[in-house]
Chains A and B, each alone.
Chain A
Amino acid sequence: AQSVTQPDIHITVSEGASLELRCNYSYGATPYLFWYVQSPGQGLQLLLKYFSGDTLVQGIKGFEAEFKRSQSSFNLRKPSVHWSDAAEYFCAINQAGTALIFGKGTTLSVSS
């Protein structure tokens, strides 16, 4: 069965430090891959997506993600974290155009 694993439940990063959030997926082929961000009590905002081609994709708010087929991973990165980046981050895959399958999320806290 298809699944998404986000190994880190909670990460704390100092403001200005770099960030990497991990995501691994299980799927028969290369799925379409997404990262979403959710602020407290809010809906989900699409940060970036991977369909095919260049394995390093750029998104909004200075985020990027790298697809590694050999590791079935799609890790999210940001070179310098801002306090406003504190939120819940979800990795997701899309199967056949209907359901997005989400990981359980990683909570990012930013310390000053």
Chain B
Amino acid sequence: ETGVTQSPTHLIKTRGQQVTLRCSSQSGHNTVSWYQQALGQGPQFIFQYYREEENGRGNFPPRFSGLQFPNYSSELNVNALELDDSALYLCASSSLEIGGPSAYEQYFGPGTRLTVT
């Protein structure tokens, strides 16, 4: 069974630039959620994708956008980067279709560390 993978591992960008982060879900999972974890904080929910559609969104501005592809992999795009966007970005996969509470278990990738200068 393949776990959740994310790329790249680290990224350095300049304020105002755009960035794309990628995530491949665990085999058998069709749902991807993205989280932002600032230093010393717990992860904050950005959004979730299910069947290639956004299925819930946290309190993040529209410059945070995403995509999910037919193979269930996903991208997180952030436009007009700000210094406060520096964080660890975590992707988590799950499967809303398996039914029951197990559908709510989310399994995380290693994250992408984004530094905005």
Contacts and interface: CB of A to CB of B under 8 A. Distances in A.
Interface in A37-55: 41-46, 49, 51-52
Contacts of A105: 41-42
A99 interface: yes
A8 B45 CA distance: 22
Contacts of A41: 113
Contact of B41 (A51, A100, A104): A104
Interface in A13-52: 32, 34, 36, 41-46, 49, 51-52
Q: Say whether chain B's binding surface is mostly helix, strand, loop, or mixed.
A: mixed
B96 interface: yes
24 contacts: A42-B110, A43-B108, A44-B43, A44-B90, A44-B92, A46-B105, A49-B105, A51-B101, A51-B102, A90-B42, A92-B42, A94-B106, A97-B96, A97-B103, A97-B104, A99-B48, A100-B106, A101-B45, A102-B43, A103-B42, A104-B40, A104-B41, A104-B42, A105-B42
